[in-house]
Amino acid sequence: MNILSPSILSADFWKLGEDIRAVEKAGVKWLHVDVMDGLFVPSISYGMPILQCVRPKTDLFLDVHLMIEKPERYVQEFAKCGADLVNFHIEATEDVEGCIQLIRETGKKVGITIKPNTPPEAVEAYLELVDMVLVMTVEPGFGGQKLIPECLDKVQVIRKMVADKGLSTDIQVDGGISLDNVHMALEAGANVIVAGSSVFKNDACVNAEEFLKKLQ
């Protein structure tokens, strides 16, 4: 099943609730929450207070993408604040398995992420342990960048690894995905699509509907 996970990084925070209702109305089931610490990535976004505010107001599946150094310090707190899936960068920790375990203990789903320069083989040892692999299709840190098409080759490699192991791991792509190029991500084998600016920078409801049609 293909899933659209709109990134609220590109929403209008003045009317965040309205923007979230708009994508719900379009039929969206997931919401992508980007957390940046100014260390692992050059920018700072938001953290627990946004989750605590959004969680009681929506049933959307909250997919939290942690772009933070030493994620083991915070993964359980994000789970407590309402994340349904906690996703961290394997480049950000020296103890990937320990971090996966900490998230598992909370009962929430687990995701691992790789940046554009990290090879696909880096996730192989963890595939049995996680629910989702996020392959970044831009350098993490900002919304509104251009897709790096070579990253989709890594999606193909990981999709094959997952199939060879008989797993049903979700593969997510994030960064620069638009209505014009989403077909490339799907063809490469991604089944969870993050889209920020291309959903929220225009009519969020209409754009999310268009995406969902393409994902069917």
What are the residues binding ligand DX5 (CB under 6 A)?
7, 9-10, 32, 34, 65, 138, 140-145, 174-177, 194-198
Query: Residue 175's binding partner, choosing from ligand DX5, Zn ion, none, with beta-carbon cut-off 5 to 8 A by kind?
Result: ligand DX5
Q: Least distance to ligand DX5 from the beta carbon of 102, Å?
A: 21
Residue 100 backbone phi and psi in degrees, to 5: -60, -45
Show the CA angle centred on residue 20, arms to residues 14 and 26, nearest 5°.
Answer: 140
Q: Least distance to ligand DX5 from the beta carbon of 195, Å?
A: 5
Q: Least distance to ligand DX5 from the beta carbon of 163, Å?
A: 26
89 sits near Zn ion (criterion: CB under 5 A) = no
Query: Residue 93's binding partner, choosing from ligand DX5, Zn ion, none, with beta-carbon cut-off 5 to 8 A by kind?
Result: none
Residues in 91-150 at the binding interface with Zn ion, rule: CB under 5 A: none
Distances from the Cα of 3 to the Cα of 30, 61, 190, 194, 216, angstroms: 7, 11, 10, 9, 9
| Closer CB to Zn ion, 146 or 160, in the complex | 146
Query: Residue 195's binding partner, choosing from ligand DX5, Zn ion, none, with beta-carbon cut-off 5 to 8 A by kind?
Result: ligand DX5
Contact 130, 158 (CB under 8 A): no
Selected from 65, 89, 154, 159, the binder of Zn ion by CB under 5 A is 65
Contact 30, 7 (CB under 8 A): no
